[in-house]
Structure 1
């Protein structure tokens, strides 16, 4: 089942700060291209590979780095501050944590050519699959397959059974076995290429299916960290990056010259200073909570202790708080920027549209507050929450 999205060998890995900075410069230079293409092209994904993002969740036993979550999240935050779509696609370097639930023989086959594997999944709506000896026969459509155009492996969601306790399975397919239906026409994050996947009469062996967040077969710290919470965090951190970029832009502009009408510069107006300071506090507070609970959970995992429901619930809560703080900070920046921000070419236009999308994700919606509140008050975690 091992495959590559192109025939070129992976580039040499360079995890240095200089290489990462050079990659960010490429993202900045090409972000308009990403929006026009409506996906991040493979050659840019290769640059993400080169700085180690797509081995960040590969087990060390298969040559990966299995990075601590906070280290990976900070990298995605930095990319997202330059371009949110690039950050969103790069964030799926974390998705290989799911592969730890596969049989070790399957994992060995997937990583046979190296630890840098690009995975994308259109997991919903979950489809019924026909059970056959040794696996499943698949037919159907799946949506929101971010980064699918550059993937080495694709996943789709199928119904589970008694063995999975009713939880859905993800079935892995080679890109040549899947049709990408290009229907990604959206308000923001247009460069993520989150198109629909179509599969017609394809067989997937049982050993190439797994439960997301299910029991793992790799005994390394990263794979004891809650996978569903991590999946929400890598998306939430995109908005921390966008919010940071929006406030930095606003601060620079506000400290500059007078406005369009010749009025005093923004930084000389009390309302501007007050609202900017409030937005800065909002974003930094959410960010501090986000990384604090991430580090706390990681320390528990490193000690070898089981992660309690309360800490896992706080991880989910911090993700939703972060995504909403990034969105609110960007809205404030747009409002304070004044009339010029209404023009389509204004930098805050794209930031505003991009920041509007992550809060709509099912992992990050308002329902998470209810679920988190239940856990914090000693209630039973809602299904799929932790």
Structure 2
């Protein structure tokens, strides 16, 4: 964790405080306090008094009303997570699972959290589709349908490798804590793409061989790819296509971020990979609901109409921040218009470029506000993005890192 982080810097990134004026945020920061807590420490709600407590970096287990849930936040990559919600009791506790960075803010000074609610009543759903969505919501709310597990290790690795003070030892230790990831990383390092003269047998040697950038991308691939899974043929084919499209979008998002020097290329890549994550619960619910032999058109119609709704559900459940919620919410909306460049704009242009890459139908680029927001030249008849001219090899390399 970075030693130079300040309450003001954290508040500037938090969804509920980033819209405050500089003066108001400075005043709030003067009353806030950052605290580092070692692993294995227990903290009860009653101990924090009239404070609201946020997890800025690290992971904890929260016990609330007899139920336990693991909470995680990655400094700079996700919105800080509030540790105790309003519906809990004084007996609620957290136990730190790693060294954590916490932010305490007087409750009386902090704005109330107001999450955006996706409107579903405007969707054009027939009775069967409406029933499907109602059942999906009901199962999620009753905890009978598990949303995809958040890819914690990949997010921690992204956070760790973004810190210039972190070395091979710290990254090796993190990867070794996940046996599946460690084995897959060593296997990938010995593949023809990365193979050295001597066989790699340890995580440390794999990290040294791959470098931080490749290690980060491979870890993200291995973690997220496990989310995109299904049992039966129709569902497996659909989810494989969604993953392939997400990979291509993520490559375009990352390259655009680098070439335009806008936003963070790693988060842009993550935005592309997660742009269609809402397909996962739809496909898995379709899979579990006895529709394994159902028509593919039925599933495609559900994906087209419900993708953004379920995408917002997943990103909010993973608590990855409002910027990625916006990506999921507007990923299929060509008309989305932002006041300034954001990850949703990058993803929309990446979606257009991916369609052009495969020669598929798409609206004229001149009619898509995201091109103007990002100040991109309008592509010619070949559909190639002018700003990415000469980046074909880089695009192919990024795609290959996430090949199934």
State whether TM-score is above 0.5: no
- Structure with bigger helix share is 1
TM-score by length of 1: 0.29
Higher relative CO (Cα under 8 Å, sequence separation at least 6) belongs to: 1
